[in-house]
Amino acid sequence: MCVIHSVYILKDGLPLVSQQCSPKAPQFDVDDTRMTGLLAAMNTFCAELGGGIGEMRALQTSNNLQFSFMRSEQLDLDLLFIVCHEATLNPDTARRTLARVASKFMKKFWSLPEFKGQVDVFADFSRRLPKLVSEVVTGDQSSTNLSIAKLPVLPPLPDIPRASLVFG
């Protein structure tokens, strides 16, 4: 079975949520703030580069890991949702996972523009992420009312070469 290892939710490039969802989750030699800041900066750079590149949807490493990205539809919030998973995971599953996490997060924390920097308010949500992610990956939709038909429709990925990072 393909595994989603970690979920990150960023606001303005800083991690609000950083949760491992798999015992096999990679352990990076940098703290979450640096790693997620780099990923957010790369995503923003691609989006602002111009020339029709658009924002980065996925980043694959040489270690068969992939980071998949989704920005909040509410641009004033500047939220970026990231999942770290095995590169063999179906891209639709990664997108559904991102959409499910984003939907649940936005539903619970709709007043985020008033956020004052206390990330401990997200601790309960963070603890529930492994179960939420597992439900999407295994196809178990029974514990939530969110159907696939209600998920946001994401445009197809453009035919451009993927960026690669080498860890280790």
Residue 167 in any domain: the answer is no
* pTM for the structure as a whole: 0.74
- Give the chain's domain count: 1
Q: By the 8 A CB rule, do 53 and 60 touch? A: no
pLDDT(165) > 50: no
Q: What is the domain range of residue 53?
A: 4-156
CATH code where residue 27 lies: 3.30.450.70
Query: Has residue 31 been placed in a domain?
Result: yes
Q: What angle do CA 34, 37, 41 make, to 5 degrees?
A: 140
Decide if 71 is inside a domain. yes
Using one digit for the tens of pLDDT, what is the confidence trace for 133-144?
888 887 733 333
Altogether, the residues listed in the chain come to a count of 168
